[in-house]
Amino acid sequence: MLPQPAAHVALDTPQTVRGACPHDCPDTCALLTTVENGRATKVQGNPAHAQTGGVLCTKVSRYTERTYHPDRLLTPLQRVGPKGSGQFAPVAWDEALDAIAARLKTIAAREPQAVLPYSYAGTMGLVQSESIAARFFHQMGASLLDRTICASAGAEALTQTLGNKVGMKVEFFAESKLIVIWGSNSIGSNLHFWRLAQEAKRNGAKLVCIDPRRSETAEKCHEHIALRPGTDAALALALMHELIVHGWLDQDYIDRYTLGWDALRARALQWTPERAAEVCGVPVAQIRQLARDWGTTQPAAIRLNYGMQRVRGGGNAVRAIACLPALTGAWRHRAGGVLLSSSGHFPVRRAALQRPDLLGERRPRTINMSTIGDDLLRPASPTFGPQIEALIVYNSNPVAVAPESGKVVQGFARKDLFTVVLEHFQTDTADYADFILPATTQLEHWDIHTSYGHTDVLLNRPAIAPVGGARTNTDIFRALAARMGFDDPCFAESDESLCRSAIGDDKDFAQLLEHGFASLPVPDAPFAQGGFPSPSGRCEFFSQRLADQGLDGLPDHLPNYELATPGGRYPLAMISPPARNFLNSTFVNVQSLRDIEAEPVLEMHPQDAQARGIADGAVLRVFNDRGTYHCKARLNQRARPGVVHGLGIWWRKLGLNGTNVNELTSQHLTDLGRAPVFYDCLVEVALLHKEDAHAEFAATLATEPNPKEAHA
């Protein structure tokens, strides 16, 4: 057992402290932090944790650079300039907390729903995300937040098909003979899965990647199917068609463990490979070959990821794909099935952590975080309810990451909006705050983590004392609760106690304290004999619950909201996958990582570029009716003709002319799960001439203060 120093104690000899990566990544790595004289000097992967294997991605292996970054917020700040100007002055903690509590108290006394929490996966920890914070907002009766921005279409689709966010165990991909990597650049965003896929490849497995982009992962697979964005369901239905007509079905598995086969069969028979090829923009032969591979190889597995569900029909697409393993009985094998998320396997005690009972009889409205641009601009109305008057942002950077950022900025710039941001750095969102409160990083606090890519629980111990005047999210909400007069004993619960009660029992926690991680007792082949956590216990091809909502009970292909038409104003489909060295908007300000990415880019096929007189490296204006994004052209074969890739997510103030790719994305929502459609977006691209740049930059300055200039 490694020595575990008490937190906050400076020791002469280097100590190693066990932790967990907090970031929004399926791998949830186990960390080992070396601490010397109270300072973290190195963060490594824990070799004892099989899922981590001692290896971290480039981003998190630089975690000390982020923790001790010269721009780290070390004291509370109060705005002294116009919103968005980035002008702040230090203020004492007590003064800041008193002022915030007084303002919230005034608003809540009149209309608590006018207060909105805004948070997401800046940390995935159960304690520093929604524990004391959720209790605080529940006690107040604030509006609820629908946390949809990343994964809710896929999550809802899995729930409607398999019964929960469950799937095969990731470790067994190493034994698969066919792996379909669907909508994922695993090398960039699921590195530890890629290690397993490589092992399978060495053992003779075939790897197929389905992705509009020829990503680093796609070019290392045996086959790459570069379909058009938003056409995944059509491809999945055509695969079913081929499985049916060639008899590549496990009829016994279908009969025993699925629901709605006859109806799905009839639907799939409408999707010939020729029809799907037309919709997807891929060769018929490629579809036929993939169907043959899927129908004749065992064990066969699909690693699905969330990129492909960010379109209008994203939920239906995930449903269609999640049906494929049941058709061939792939679930019978531990190395067969599908994995999008494993998070439904974890018995998290959310009610105990978040205490919705503090609401009493009150039933506040719910605001969708993906439409924050529109919602901040809405006046009070009988349908919307009260105008949003106060916004408390933690673990999120909506000004950079929410869709249609022109409107998001307009909303955050409202003079009458009271905004508090808990952060590590002065992000684009923090620039619009009235108060910025410095929060601790993962090296400075307790937390407990589940995973959506494996089935281990991890404990994060604090390795160092909080840097500067930073405080934990929990501590900040406890202090605000006290000032608001919230005296329920639940606000006094310590972080260690929250970790202890979040999941499992005391025996499990003892194991977490000793080893840092513990595996859930999930069977190796959880659905070999059905037993899905759905209402019927079967894989539900047909969902009665969806039909009861007036929706199609069967999966189908729903075309994108924005489809290019001949002669249309916006002929290029844009997707915005993450730049490899950023994780959403986290790490963009870490210089060594930004140096690797160099500048915001739009990947284009040379054919599309040539038609517009664009050379590699040219400065571009990417635009549609929602806005304009400035970036550099990167011409390569990663893009298929007609599709461009705006790699994200740059902070606006670190990008070109204060823009990022979300200037262009829309606030439309997916078919299931009310999620954003980041990858369902048409644009046009032109060279940014010097005079255009000048005119547009001047226009920007006229309408909003430019943080970049304010910092200069």
Residues that bind ligand SF4 (CB under 6 A): 21, 23, 25, 27-29, 56-57, 59-60, 191, 583
Nearer of residues 66 and 471 to ligand SF4, judged by Cβ: 66
Nearer residue to ligand SF4 within complex by CB, 63 or 491 = 63
Distance of CA 231 to the CA centre of its chain: 21
Distance of closest approach, residue 61 Cβ to ligand SF4, in angstroms: 7
d(CA 244, CA 366): 43
Least distance (Å) between residue 188 CB and ligand SF4: 10
State the nearest-atom distance from the C-beta of 63 to ligand SF4, in Å. 8
State in angstroms the smallest separation of the CB of 60 from ligand SF4: 3
What is the torsional sign of CA 210, 215, 219, 221? negative
The answer to whether 495 and 472 have CB atoms below 8 angstroms apart is: yes
Distance CA 69, CA 443 (A): 13
What does the alpha-carbon distance between residue 243 and residue 268 come to, in Å, rounded to a whole number? 10
Q: How far is the CB of 264 from ligand SF4 (least distance, A)?
A: 35
Question: Quick check: helix, strand or coil at residue 45?
Answer: strand
Nearer to ligand SF4, 100 or 512 (CB): 512
Closest approach, Cβ 204 to ligand SF4, in A, equals 27
Q: What is the dihedral of CA 32, 36, 42, 46, to 10 degrees?
A: -10
* CB nearer to ligand SF4: pick between 62 and 135: 62
Q: Are 227 and 201 in contact (CB under 8 A)?
A: no
Q: What is the DSSP letter of 490?
A: G
Between the alpha carbon of residue 51 and those of residues 28, 516, 596, 702, the distances in Å are 8, 13, 27, 51
CA distances from 121 to 124, 559, 578 (A): 5, 29, 15
Report d(CA 711, CA 92) in Å as an integer: 23
CB-nearer residue toward ligand SF4: 60 or 388: 60
Q: Which is nearer to ligand SF4, 56 or 503 (CB)?
A: 56
Report d(CA 413, CA 417) in Å as an integer. Answer: 8
Q: Which is nearer to ligand SF4, 28 or 371 (CB)?
A: 28
| Cβ proximity to ligand SF4, 59 vs 461, nearer residue | 59
CB 21 to ligand SF4: min, Å = 3
In the sheet where 88-90 sits, what is the strand order?
88-90, 77-79, 435-438, 418-423, 390-394, 115-119
Q: Give the CA distances from residue 509 to residues 38, 347, 446, 499, in Å, rounded to whole numbers and listed in that order.
A: 26, 14, 13, 8
Residue in the block written with tokens 């004999």: 529
In the complex with ligand SF4, the residue whose CB is nearer, 226 or 463, is 463
DSSP per-residue codes, 99-128: HHHHHHHHHHHH-GGGEEEEE-TTS--TTT
**Nearest approach, Cβ of residue 397 and ligand SF4 (Å):** 16
Closer by beta carbon to ligand SF4, 267 or else 594: 594
Say which DSSP state 306 is in. Answer: G
Q: How far is the CB of 601 from ligand SF4 (least distance, A)?
A: 22
Q: How far apart are CA 681 and CA 232, in angstroms?
A: 16
524 token code pair: 């190796």
Measuring CA to CA, which residue among 636, 599, 653, 596 is closest to residue 57? Answer: 596
Nearer of residues 52 and 560 to ligand SF4, judged by Cβ: 52
CA nearest neighbour of 100 among 346, 419, 372, 331: 419
Q: How far is the CB of 28 from ligand SF4 (least distance, A)?
A: 5
Q: Maximum Cα–Cα distance for the chain, whole Å?
A: 72
Q: How far is the CB of 673 from ligand SF4 (least distance, A)?
A: 23
CB of 108: closest distance to ligand SF4 in angstroms? 37
Q: In the complex, what is the shortest distance from the CB of residue 323 to ligand SF4, in angstroms, rounded to a whole number? A: 29
Nearer to ligand SF4, 54 or 531 (CB): 54
Compare residues 21 and 99 and give the one whose CB is closer to ligand SF4.
Answer: 21
Q: Measure the CA–CA gap between 417 and 554, rounded to whole angstroms.
A: 44
- Are 455 and 519 a contacting pair, CB within 8 Å? yes
Q: Give the CA angle between residues 68, 70, 73 to the nearest 5°.
A: 80
Contacts of 44 (CB under 8 A, 6+ apart): 31, 32, 33, 34, 54, 56, 61
Q: How far is the CB of 442 from ligand SF4 (least distance, A)?
A: 10
Nearer to ligand SF4, 45 or 658 (CB): 45
| Whether the Cβ atoms of residue 94 and residue 435 lie closer than 8 Å to each other | no
Q: Decide whether 23 or 557 has the Cβ nearer to ligand SF4.
A: 23
Q: CA-based angle 332:177:158, to the nearest 5?
A: 50
